[in-house]
Structure 1
Amino acid sequence: MPQINLTITGTGSYLPATVLLSTDIDDRMGWERGECEARCGIAARHVAMPDETTAFMGAEAARRAMEMAGCKPADLDMILGACGVSGQPGPPAAALVQERLGLAGSGIPAFDVNATCLGFLQALDLAATHVQCGRVRRVLVFSSDTASVGLDWNRPEAAAIYGDGAAAVVVEAGGRGAVLAHDFQTYAHGHETGMRAAGDARNDPIRGIAPGEGRFHMEGCKAFKLASRYLPRFLQRLLKKADVGLNGIGCVIPHQASAQALQHATRNLWLPPERVVDIFSRAGNQLAASIPTALDHAVRTRRLVRGDTALLMGTSAGISLGGTLVRF
């Protein structure tokens, strides 16, 4: 498919004020000081308080993105939510963010896209499609996640790495930017390596759910091994679609799944390590918010500047692989 001419005009992120240090986790688990960081590669992560809801964090990130873009809420044509785990089954997080932005009576379409940790990439692709069709000119895409509420501390190596936060982008038709290529693949035979089963007819939240079903379950090593079978060919195909080589990528923005996953992906996919944005040690795995938070970090620290080509990529529960090449 031809590239889609649109520009990311603004990025923004929000991190809760409360910080959980790895030494706090050491104390909780009865480990020696430094053991959590040595095991998990994480020094700290942010934890949302009760008033820092999915909608609150999403709206804060959105305001920062709009400030960079130089636009107001009334200038938006669409709002897309892309949360890994929404704050509630309904209404969609996008509608709640619309209200917080003062647009409750606007009629601006606001709905969610669910692709777990890759929701942001799928929502960004949907926004680009609407722009390409001429239906909209300016779209807000946000991801907001509070993974901390569903952790299973009987599995501390997994529970220790999840952080809370939100991030957003404003994309507009035209400009010098572009979506050069996008791809998404799902291999459902690996769906049990990452899941939170509560919420369907088997686990009715009104009647009560089975013990442990409301907690995150992740088999990180198994998930990574499975994804690694497909990632090299996936990346090769994505680069071929865009007619871009690895040397032509100015910035690589991966999902911050874990310290080990970032290290393995950088090495096994021959990614230039100096161009890979890694904020995992200070933010952890923020589910769908990971990629846009790393994107905002790259923009504000000038790791990513206008005219650069950026590769946004990762894996998610499903198991799915996703990647988007953009000219920023």
Structure 2
Amino acid sequence: MERRFAIAGTGAYLPKETLSAAQYDALVGLQDGQVARRFGVNQRHRASAEETSSWMAAQAARVALNDAGWAPESLDVIISACGVMEQPIPGTAVLVQRALGLGASGIAAFDVNATCLSFLIAFDRALAGFALGDWRRVLIVSADIASAALDYSDPEASVLFGDGAAAIALEAGGDHQRLAYGFNTYSDAADFCQLEAGGTRVRLDEDIDAFRSKARFKMKGPALFTTTARLFRPFLQTLFEGSGVSIKDVDCVIPHQASRAALDHLIKSTGLPRERTIDVFADVGNLIATSLPFTLDHARRQGRLKPGEISLIIGSSAGVSLGGAVIRW
């Protein structure tokens, strides 16, 4: 179903500290130059203890609100779309609401989660709220601190990721149209990406060593890539079948920055010239759920979202899930 909306403002925040590829070589125990050559990494941003998820999200939110010309009090809802919340209870959206000075406002604030595709789910929920007449102004925030749970003994499961935040201010009506949307999950691959601790199954008081071990992110990289690559082209074909446009009509691809290999496969699968795909992987990396809104903000600030043109927002996530949206600006 076609959905109309407007992006009123966007914002992003990257932590102050950066680690170079050479520093990652030493950190993960590889020879000089291997992180850059094998993984396509130039640098990564790493959050300090003071740069919490909610704090970074609030910084990005203030930029987006200023860009939109909105007062925080004018919001109808704040949706947090993080890969990993700052804490289990209460959710990150509540903490962001408070950080924006809205703690006594009553403005709705809640979280959604689909790991790296959380923004797509929040975006869909926002458009549904517009269609139902429930909301006029929505703020979506994403913030992820991958460095909090990385295992640097596994280069592939660590050097791909960075920390950061992004925010998108959406308004009902407007000239933008979502022409198609898809979200598919294949849970046979659920074990390929895991962060097992932090919920109710792995319990601190039963085995602290097991808890500590399972508080590190683990990824079966080759299996994950093979599964995602096999599913990607059929998913893309189905997505465009209901859009009214062709993949050849896409002017700008806004992808999840999963890995260098994933981006190369995406470009090959679309058949589009490489320059049509927004690529910030080398300097920013995989920001988990923040990746999509961060890349969207980057594309917008580069003037890549021109009226009447077509964009593809696309990505994959742990689960394994594939998600995408076709947008006419």
Where does the alignment leave 5 or more consecutive residues of structure 2 unmatched? none
Residue deviations 1:78-118 (CA, integer Å, cap 9, x gap): 11000001111111100110111111111111000010000
Q: Does the aligned pair in 2 maintain the 1:199–1:205 contact within 8 Å?
A: no
Q: Does the aligned pair in 2 maintain the 1:146–1:163 contact within 8 Å?
A: yes
Bigger shift: residues 37-46 or 245-254: 245-254
State the secondary structure of the residue aligned to 1:83: coil
Q: Which amino acid aligns with 2:181?
A: H
The aligned counterpart of 2:76 is: 77
Q: Does the aligned pair in 2 maintain the 1:39–1:157 contact within 8 Å?
A: no
Question: Do the aligned partners of residues 301 and 47 (structure 1) sit closer, same or farther apart at CA in structure 2, a change above 3 Å counting?
Answer: same
Bigger shift: residues 57-66 or 241-250: 241-250
State the secondary structure of the residue aligned to 1:262: helix
The aligned counterpart of 2:228 is: 227
The aligned counterpart of 2:215 is: 214
Q: How does 1:144-163 map to 2 (within 5 A)?
A: 144-163=143-162
Residue deviations 1:3-42 (CA, integer Å, cap 9, x gap): 1111111111100010011110112244332111001111
How far, CA to CA, are the matches of 1:8 and 1:275 in structure 2? 20
Q: How does 1:1-328 map to 2 (within 5 A)?
A: 1=1, 3-207=2-206, 208=208, 210=210, 211-328=212-329
How far, CA to CA, are the matches of 2:119 and 2:266 in structure 1? 20
Q: Does the aligned pair in 1 maintain the 2:27–2:152 contact within 8 Å?
A: no
How far, CA to CA, are the matches of 2:180 and 2:169 in structure 1? 19
Residue deviations 1:113-150 (CA, integer Å, cap 9, x gap): 01000000111001000011100001001110000010
Residue deviations 1:138-191 (CA, integer Å, cap 9, x gap): 100111000001001121122111100001101101111122211100000001
How far, CA to CA, are the matches of 1:30 and 1:191 in structure 2? 29
**How many residue pairs were aligned?**
327
Bigger shift: residues 203-212 or 261-270: 203-212
How far, CA to CA, are the matches of 1:67 and 1:94 in structure 2? 19
TM-score, scaled to structure 2: 0.96
Q: Does the aligned pair in 1 maintain the 2:82–2:289 contact within 8 Å?
A: yes
Q: Which amino acid aligns with 1:48?
A: A
State the secondary structure of the residue aligned to 2:113: coil
Q: Does the aligned pair in 2 maintain the 1:198–1:209 contact within 8 Å?
A: no
Q: List structure 1 runs of 4+ shifted beyond 6 angstroms.
A: none
How far, CA to CA, are the matches of 1:178 and 1:209 in structure 2? 50
How far, CA to CA, are the matches of 1:115 and 1:294 in structure 2? 18
How far, CA to CA, are the matches of 1:195 and 1:271 in structure 2? 32
Bigger shift: residues 212-221 or 267-276: 267-276
Q: Does the aligned pair in 1 maintain the 2:156–2:221 contact within 8 Å?
A: no
Question: Do the aligned partners of residues 209 and 94 (structure 1) sit closer, same or farther apart at CA in structure 2, a change above 3 Å counting?
Answer: farther
Q: Which amino acid aligns with 2:121?
A: Q
State the secondary structure of the residue aligned to 1:283: coil
Deviation, 1:209, is 5.5
Q: Which amino acid aligns with 1:23?
A: A
State the secondary structure of the residue aligned to 2:248: helix
Question: Do the aligned partners of residues 253 and 204 (structure 1) sit closer, same or farther apart at CA in structure 2, a change above 3 Å counting?
Answer: same
